[in-house]
Amino acid sequence: MSITAAPRAPLSRRHLLIAGALGISSLAALGTAAPARAADEVWTEEFMTRAETREGFDVDAMDDWQIDNAKFIIAVCAGHGFGIEATKITLITAIVESWLYNYEPAVDHDSGGLFQQRPSMGWGTYDEVRHKKKAIDAFLGLGAHASPPGLLQLAPDYREWEPGAAAQAVQISAHPGRYSEQLPAAQILWDRYAHDVSPYTD
């Protein structure tokens, strides 16, 4: 029995996020191919119908890329001498902006990287906004390559701020309420990894 291929559906934001983690060359394949699954896995109705949005970020379903990126954010913040407050602000921002993927495609204008920073807005070159260390430094206000103010410039007393408000001060998002929604996830990530990650100072 022959099977006629269905028309390719437009790539969703989730596809773009995953494609960025895998590489830009994966974009075309993602339009038609599903991720590899275990042979005995059940494709449930919940799987087929669940809403997969930023608000649905599941800290217990993170893949290795997301875990490594979360650990690296914690390590870089520690290397700068930041504690839990600034680290959680940085984590909730990366969760909302990219689901903790350092993804490649420009989904929102020319944005890219962990924080969806835009070269046209002064956050660095195309490569710099996708360089994890430089992107984190820029968000914190410690990146010499970036001209917009970061956390330290906009909220030097960030410990006194509601974390979502501090993230919004830097990001100027059209959806400011999303950051605070990820505080429980950031707390879990801190509790899991902060004591096992060495400060990164390079």
**What pLDDT digit, counting tens, does each position of 12-22 carry?**
444 444 444 44
State the Cα–Cα distance between residues 132 and 130, nearest whole angstrom: 6
Of 54 and 159, more confident: 159
Query: What local confidence, expressed as pLDDT, does residue 32 receive?
Result: 34
Whether the pLDDT of residue 28 is over 90: the answer is no
Q: Tokens for 91?
A: 């984590």
Of 83 and 102, more confident: 83
Q: Tokens for 132?
A: 């994890």
- pLDDT, the chain, mean: 81
Identify the helix (H) or strand (E) that includes residue 178: helix 178-181
What is the rounded end-to-end Cα distance, in angstroms, of the chain?
58
Whether the pLDDT of residue 36 is over 70: the answer is no
Whether the pLDDT of residue 156 is over 60: the answer is yes
Confidence of residue 39 (pLDDT cuts 50, 70, 90): low
Whether the pLDDT of residue 127 is over 80: the answer is yes
Query: What local confidence, expressed as pLDDT, does residue 42 receive?
Result: 75
State the Cα–Cα distance between residues 189 and 155, nearest whole angstrom: 23
Query: What local confidence, expressed as pLDDT, does residue 134 receive?
Result: 94
Residue with tokens 């960030």: 158
Q: Tokens for 108?
A: 């929102």
Number of H helices, E strands in the chain: 11, 0
